[in-house]
């Protein structure tokens, strides 16, 4: 199986184009990961994902641990075989999900004690357990367990959380290396080439972020992620914190911005040196009738589209836009047809993936800044509807 590697092939300012190599294939970066929380991207098949250029997926440790269970998936040969996806997969640690449970969890140095949202049963997710689960899933990229804070956070609270995340990262790395070196009873390694990513925290405080980068890099991971962004902070503040954070991160490693991802966010994060993205917006918004287009967002349920024969986005080449009108998509949505979610999801994911494709092209040809300006100008041409 191919070892995990990353190399930058082109630069334009801070924007980078690169090649991420995994045991399940190569990924051209910057890249966007559709979110397949439970081993499936809602509303769309793997076949359609491949047809629109999806090169990797994100799945969630918390949900797969609870159902159907990482032991079952390991017995099936790992997550790739279980879900029928042959390309790379990244799994998050489940940290965001357990922290979002609020009243259902408590945090201590050991880990996170939580009650399942499915049946109320009690569980303990530790850095070691999150590592073991992901080893059994066999994803190509596995995230350490981190502590997530909502915005705003007091400096002292942010420091305590950041320092705990560092201690957890050390424990996760020690466990990851121990299993790789000696194996561990009860843990099935389904992907020997799995890479582990550290996560940088520190809320909106640049100094804490820099400390977190330094300590996380000292531990040593195959890749690094920026966590705790897009949790309620103003967009301009997020961009400022991201700039100072990526500027401190090692240049030779892949950089992943977790969970943030309006189309404008993707472009601005690439401008700050980010290589990987995930976000539920394109799929969640599609199911709610909101479509991302080159001229801004449209809500297809609005009455103004009842007799609109134009495609959702005349500039888009996806199957939905090549085949169906806004009037028909509105009809499907208002009638509660399952196809409404499928066709909307197909379009939104195509728009995201195509945006990243065009970003990669602009970096290769040294045209990223003109692309960036034109992209924002295009989006602002139509107000939110």
Catalytic residues: 92, 278
**Contact predicate 67/118, CB 8 Å:** yes
92 burial via Cβ count (<10 Å: 0-12, 13-18, 19+)? buried
Helix (H) or strand (E) holding 299: strand 296-299
- The owner of tokens 């967002």 is 297
The total of other beta-carbon atoms located within 10 Å of residue 190's CB is: 22
Separation between Cα atoms, residue 4 and residue 197, nearest integer Å: 12
Separation between Cα atoms, residue 365 and residue 344, nearest integer Å: 32
3-state DSSP assignment of residue 243 = helix
**Contact predicate 19/30, CB 8 Å:** no
For residue 268 the two structure tokens come to: 């601005």
Separation between Cα atoms, residue 349 and residue 343, nearest integer Å: 10
């Amino acid at each position: 199986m191919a070892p995990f590697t990353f190399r930058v092939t082109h630069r334009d300012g801070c924007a980078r184009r690169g090649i991420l190599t995994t045991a399940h294939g190569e990924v051209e970066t910057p890249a966007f990961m559709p979110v397949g929380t439970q081993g499936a991207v809602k509303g769309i098949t793997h076949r359609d994902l491949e047809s629109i250029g999806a090169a990797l997926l994100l799945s969630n440790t918390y949900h797969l641990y609870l159902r159907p269970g990482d032991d079952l998936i390991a017995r099936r040969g790992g997550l790739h075989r279980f879900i029928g996806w042959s390309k790379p997969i990244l799994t998050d640690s489940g940290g965001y999900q357990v922290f979002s449970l609020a009243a259902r969890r408590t945090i201590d140095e050991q880990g996170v004690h939580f009650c399942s949202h499915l049946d109320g049963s009690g569980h303990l997710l530790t850095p070691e357990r999150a590592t073991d689960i992901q080893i059994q899933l066999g994803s190509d990229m596995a995230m350490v367990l981190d502590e997530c804070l909502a915005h705003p956070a007091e400096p002292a609270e942010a420091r305590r959380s950041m320092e705990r995340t560092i201690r957890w990262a050390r424990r996760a790395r020690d466990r990851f290396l121990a299993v790789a070196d000696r194996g561990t009873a009860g843990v099935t390694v389904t992907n020997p080439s799995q890479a582990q990513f550290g996560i940088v925290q520190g809320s909106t405080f640049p100094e804490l972020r820099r400390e977190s980068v330094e300590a996380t890099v000292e531990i040593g991971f195959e890749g690094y992620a920026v966590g705790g962004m897009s949790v309620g902070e103003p967009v301009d503040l997020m961009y400022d914190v991201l700039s100072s954070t990526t500027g401190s991160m090692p240049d030779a490693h892949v950089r992943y911005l977790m969970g943030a991802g309006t189309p404008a966010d993707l472009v601005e994060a690439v401008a700050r040196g980010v290589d990987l993205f995930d976000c539920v917006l394109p799929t969640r918004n599609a199911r709610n009738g909101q479509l991302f287009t080159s001229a801004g967002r449209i809500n297809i349920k609005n009455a103004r589209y009842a007799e609109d024969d134009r495609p959702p986005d005349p500039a888009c080449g996806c199957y939905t836009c090549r085949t169906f009108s806004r009037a028909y998509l509105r009809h499907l949505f208002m009638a509660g047809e399952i196809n409404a979610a499928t066709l909307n999801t197909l379009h939104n994911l195509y728009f995201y993936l195509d945006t990243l494709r065009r970003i990669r092209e602009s970096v290769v040809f040294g045209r990223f800044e003109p692309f960036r300006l034109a992209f924002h100008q295009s989006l602002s041409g139509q107000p939110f509807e």
